């Protein structure tokens, strides 16, 4: 693996603006202290069950991104405040810091990450550190280091210490040769972004560690995730978050995708619910290690029409970003998530009208929205 040295101020700023909450090391990236071969010979593998402890001890990496804080809140309600540790390389806001345990964790620092797992007796690990699609294309070496080298560190530590490991995947794990409408769990995957390539790598490595070493690896392919309490983080689907902020602030929105670009989407509450459900599912019910999950699928034009029910004067214009459009055109239009619904009872709660209503209820009572209501 390449040595990652002195990524510099620009890389640091890029990380902070991406919302990925990932770590950058100023030492060789692959500071591995134990090999998979050593792991296989030194550890007896099994999934930690609730019979061994009252609740799982949880670590969330990349916790200051779009999903980490919300997941921590959900898990703390379920398992107790002190059983869920949020981590990142950035300084958290006061409300996050005082809401429960928070620590610094750099996923490229293998030794430190291993110490965190051991010292805190971690049993579940949610690995959210990653550079997203558009941000990753702007800095491929950094994305390769964070998304792939960081994953290797997490896999080795999870295998050594018998963790139940969750790694999210994405609609970006598919490519232009994949069936797009619908896209099944198992099909050709030839993504054309470093983000997508790294997620396919994560899916396959997780499945390999499961069959080779007995690692309890679980993965969901997320659609575009929409939430009111986080800013867009450099993803191709982020227009579906930004449109709400711009509609309230200015009544105008310029979209970087074509109006007919259909992509799978999901409200954040459904995403977090699915994540907890698959982690709690009995191992014998899982017929695969990676599942599609879906809730709705819409185009920018369809979303704008729904938003205009609340902001009738919204002016929607289009300035197509060729890079993001090419990415979107290679992604699924609809997800087939029938396996998740059959195996562990997945069921979404939010369709497009409920999504839009919920977003506006969270984002405030702007006068133009009040008048529309």
The phi, psi pair for 165, rounded to 5°, reads -115, 130
CB 339 within 8 A of CB 185: yes
Q: How far apart are CA 245 and CA 237, in angstroms?
A: 15
Question: Which pair of tokens denotes residue 292?
Answer: 């599609």
Question: Who's near 371: CB < 8 A, 6+ residues apart?
Answer: none
Q: Which residues, 6 or more positions from 157, have their beta carbon under 8 angstroms from its beta carbon?
A: 110, 113, 114, 117, 125, 163
- Does residue 262 have a cis peptide bond before it, meaning omega lies within 30 degrees of 0? no
- Contact partners, residue 37, CB within 8 Å, separation at least 6: none
Which distant-in-sequence residues (6+ apart) come within 8 Å of 13 by Cβ? Answer: none
DSSP state of 225: E
- CA dist 260 and 240 (Å) reads 13
What are the beta bridge partners of residue 86?
60, 102
Q: Any idea which residues carry the catalytic annotation?
A: 195
Residue recorded with tokens 């992604």:
331
The rounded distance, in Å, linking the Cα atoms of 83 and 58 is 6
DSSP secondary structure, 246-283, as one string: HHHHTSEEEESS-TT--EEEEEHHHHHHHHHHHHHS-G
């Amino acid at each position: 693996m390449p040595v990652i040295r002195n990524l510099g101020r620009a890389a640091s700023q890029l990380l902070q603006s991406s919302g990925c909450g990932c770590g950058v090391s100023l030492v060789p990236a692959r500071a591995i202290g134990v090999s998979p071969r050593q792991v296989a010979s030194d550890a007896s593998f099994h999934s930690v069950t609730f019979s061994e402890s009252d609740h799982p001890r949880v670590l969330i990496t990349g916790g200051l991104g779009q999903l980490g804080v919300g997941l921590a809140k959900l898990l703390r309600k379920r398992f107790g405040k002190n059983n869920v540790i949020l981590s990142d390389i950035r300084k958290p806001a006061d409300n996050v810091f005082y809401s429960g345990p928070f620590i610094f964790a750099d996923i490229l620092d293998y030794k430190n990450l291993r110490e965190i797992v051991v010292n805190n007796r971690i049993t579940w690990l949610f690995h959210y550190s990653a550079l997203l699609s558009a941000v990753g294309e702007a800095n491929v070496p950094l994305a390769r280091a964070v998304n792939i080298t960081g994953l290797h560190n997490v896999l080795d530590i999870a295998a050594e210490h018998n963790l139940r490991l969750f790694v999210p995947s994405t609609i970006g794990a598919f490519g232009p040769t994949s069936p797009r409408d619908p896209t099944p769990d198992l099909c050709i995957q030839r993504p054309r972004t470093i983000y997508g390539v790294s997620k396919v790598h994560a899916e396959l490595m997780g499945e390999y560690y499961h069959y080779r070493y007995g690692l309890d690896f679980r993965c969901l392919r997320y659609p575009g995730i929409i939430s009111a309490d986080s800013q867009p983080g450099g993803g191709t689907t982020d227009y579906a978050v930004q449109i709400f902020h711009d509609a309230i602030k200015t009544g105008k929105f310029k979209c970087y995708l074509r109006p007919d670009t259909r992509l799978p989407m999901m409200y954040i509450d459904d995403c977090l619910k699915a994540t907890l459900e698959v982690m709690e599912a009995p191992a014998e019910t899982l017929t695969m290690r990676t599942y599609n999950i879906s809730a709705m699928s819409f185009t920018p034009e369809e979303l704008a029409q729904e938003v205009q029910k609340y902001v009738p004067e919204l002016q929607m214009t289009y300035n197509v970003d060729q890079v993001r459009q090419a990415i979107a055109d290679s992604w699924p239009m609809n997800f087939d998530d029938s396996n998740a619904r059959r195996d562990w009872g997945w069921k979404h709660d939010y369709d497009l009208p409920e999504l839009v209503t919920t977003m506006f209820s969270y984002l405030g009572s702007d006068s133009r929205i009040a008048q529309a209501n």
